A and B are shown apart, each in its own frame.
Chain A
Amino acid sequence: MSAAAAEGPLLQVKGLQVRYFTERGTIEASRGVTLHLDRGETLGLVGESGSGKSVTSQAILGLIREPGRIVAGDIVWKGRSLLAADGAAYARRVRGKEIALVFQDPMTSLNPVFTIGLQITEVLRHHLKLGRRAASDRAAELLDLVGISAPRQRLAQYPHELSGGMRQRALIAMALSCEPELLVADEPTTALDVTIQAQILELLGSLQQRLGLSILLITHDLGVVAALCHRVAVIYAGRIVETGRAADLFARPAHPYTMGLLRSTPRIDVVRPRLVAIDGTPPDLSHPPAGCAFHTRCPIATDACMAEAPSLVPQAGGRTVACWRAFTPAWPGEAANRRARG
């Protein structure tokens, strides 16, 4: 572990730019995403729909399909590029084996006509070259690991015979089958019921600790981040606007967007007469605004914000912020609100 740490971060995304070439124009889905993930760490990538969070995970896993293309930037796994022209074989080996993916919707990512057992053993036999018997034993172990009772019987069942929570567990088991080092979980609990979501989050947390996994958790739900993540990266309009340790970032958001996001999320422990909404809508990424993309909705935007996009600047406490007016209270009562909570 300590030797590995000397290599630097497990995963680095450097200035990633992804564009979608559509009839209505070129959409700049990702406009220079930079982030890194250390071993054994859970990083939450938080953003709203169209912010580029899923595009980032797809790029990491090599799942960008036409009409999308990676036009600039790099993705580095253990110090070696996954996008380099001579790295195709390396990327193939890493993706699916060292980096595994858990999808949002377990029903559509499991094949309905095959049993759970067959779908897991297929992965084991293909990637790990296990025999039929060994693969089946290992599959049962994996189901047990993710908290599925009577794993041997479950192997013979079809996806539709399992509940939503069970299917998500089965999918996590499948993702873990090759003992990956990084689990990319794209909205893993969004399709689940509240009480089942709690179960899956607890499972992910305990797996992370027991197996020393790194998790890249992609979500729109600040509550999920608060429950599970060590660090957070907030993404808006295809760029990271802020990163930092979860506790710091929630206690003292630096970027007006993060502040607004926190203020507009209703909480069961705080009753406000009225939610503070962020006015306007996220920008159309086929015509991203000049300067900081948030200036169209930001209550404290200045001329500088409209003229030039701020870059991600390191701050105290290992945080980074891309804002000309970082830490300035952006919404009325922001300071008071912070005091009330602290």
Chain B
Amino acid sequence: MAMTKSTAGTLAHAAPLHGRPHELFNALRGIARELRADKLGAFGTMILLVLVIVAIAAPALAPYDPAAQSLADRLLPPAWLAGGSPAHWLGTDHLGRDVLSRTIHGARVSLLVGVAVVALAGTFGTVLGLVAGYFGGRADTIIMRAVDIQVAFPALLLALIILTVVKPTPGTLVIVLAANGWMVYARLVRGVVLSSRQSLYVEAAEIVGCRPLRVIFRHVLPNLTSPLVTLATLEFARIVLAEAALSFLGLGVQPPATSWGLDVAAGKNYIFDAWWLVTVPGTAIALTVLSINLVASWIRIATDPRERQKRFARGAAVSEMGA
């Protein structure tokens, strides 16, 4: 008896795995096809991929240690300008540190903080939203009031208070930003859960005898993937900006670590003498946020069957009628 049970168990695990590589391949092909149809989305995805690679391979890519000072070479302009040196392609800052290396390493902090905050706030908000939406009643009231209070409290003020009391490390930065960001997830998830609770197949699952946890994870949660991915992407862009802002104010990443926001702050004193100090990390921030937004808008369209259908119909009808 025990043996049959265990073989059944392993087979159950084996069966879905069997289908997986094939499904994954199909999914990737689908994504590639979607990207071909949306040029801006493809552009955004490409930039984002480059950024991720740069962030991961920063130590290998950066020509210098980002913290290495060389006062003899301070405030060198980019290589293509008069007085520039081919050794420092994007110039140096007021302490003679290589701007290119600092920007490459800055990508690490920005993306890492962004990912960490989105993961933390997303998980926390999603769980609370699920509880509020599925169980309703008192749990719903308490959670949604907490959301209201948190939303009403000025985010920057909260960040300032916490970060002046606690030592600003990347860890505390992530926690502070997550504390300001979980509410949107909770609200979105609660809304989707409430509407999918009304759906007949959720009722059907309950009548069949599914326990609440199974109903949530098997029948409700999958409806959340597409809106959550879109929201998380947009939030990611917002967090990159917020991290830059806090670092600019001196409450984020602390020297000698690097961050785009920190570099913009340091460079602002030299804005008339050395414009590249602000412009390079500033451009990096803008490019990152722009590409994330392009990806988000592509995801929104690609996951909405009606939008896809419209886009497809135009092409197909034209080609068939023309033939």
A interface residue numbers (CB < 8 A to B): 19-23, 26, 66-67, 69, 71
Contacts and interface: CB of A to CB of B under 8 A. Distances in A.
B320 A67 contact: no
- Closest 9 pairs between A and B when the two form their complex, measured CB to CB: A67-B313, A21-B316, A21-B317, A23-B312, A66-B313, A21-B313, A69-B317, A67-B309, A66-B310
B312 A22 contact: yes
B320 A22 contact: no
Contact of A66 (B308, B314, B320, B321): B314
A19 to B, nearest CB: 8
A69 B315 CA distance: 13
Contact of A23 (B309, B317, B321): B309
Contacts of A26: 316, 320
Contacts of B309: 22-23, 67
Contacts of B312: 21-23, 67
Interface residues of B, number: 10
A67 B308 contact: no
A110 to B, nearest CB: 23
Contacts of A21: 312-313, 316-317, 320
A19 B310 CA distance: 14
B234 to A, nearest CB: 27
10 contacts: A19-B320, A21-B312, A21-B317, A22-B312, A23-B308, A23-B312, A66-B317, A67-B309, A67-B312, A69-B321
B319 to A, nearest CB: 9
Nearest to A25: B316
Q: Is the interface of A mostly helix, strand, loop or mixed?
A: strand
A67 B314 CA distance: 7
A22 B321 CA distance: 14
A26 B323 CA distance: 14
A71 B317 CA distance: 10
Contacts of A22: 309, 312-313, 316
A71 B321 contact: yes
A26 B320 CA distance: 10
B321 A67 contact: no
Given A22-B309, A67-B310, A67-B316, 12 more contacts: A20-B313, A21-B312, A21-B316, A21-B317, A22-B316, A23-B308, A23-B312, A66-B310, A67-B312, A67-B317, A69-B321, A71-B321
Contacts of B316: 21-22, 26, 67
B171 to A, nearest CB: 46
Contacts of A69: 317, 321
Interface string B61-100: 0000000000000000000000000000000000000000
Nearest to A67: B313
A54 to B, nearest CB: 18
B27 to A, nearest CB: 16
A312 to B, nearest CB: 26
A66 B315 CA distance: 11
A227 B253 CA distance: 79
Interface in B291-323: 308-310, 312-314, 316-317, 320-321
A19 B318 CA distance: 12
A155 B316 CA distance: 46
A71 B316 CA distance: 13
A129 B193 CA distance: 49
Interface in B11-54: none
Contacts of B321: 69, 71
Contacts of B308: 23
A327 to B, nearest CB: 39
Nearest to A21: B316
A24 to B, nearest CB: 10
B322 to A, nearest CB: 12
Contacts of A23: 308-309, 312
Most chain B CB within 10 A, of A20, A21, A23, A67, is at: A21
A69 B308 CA distance: 18
Nearest to B310: A66
A19 B309 CA distance: 14
Nearest to A69: B317
B55 to A, nearest CB: 36
Nearest to B317: A21
Nearest to B319: A21
Contacts of A19: 320
B296 to A, nearest CB: 23
A22 B313 CA distance: 6
Contacts of B320: 19, 21, 26
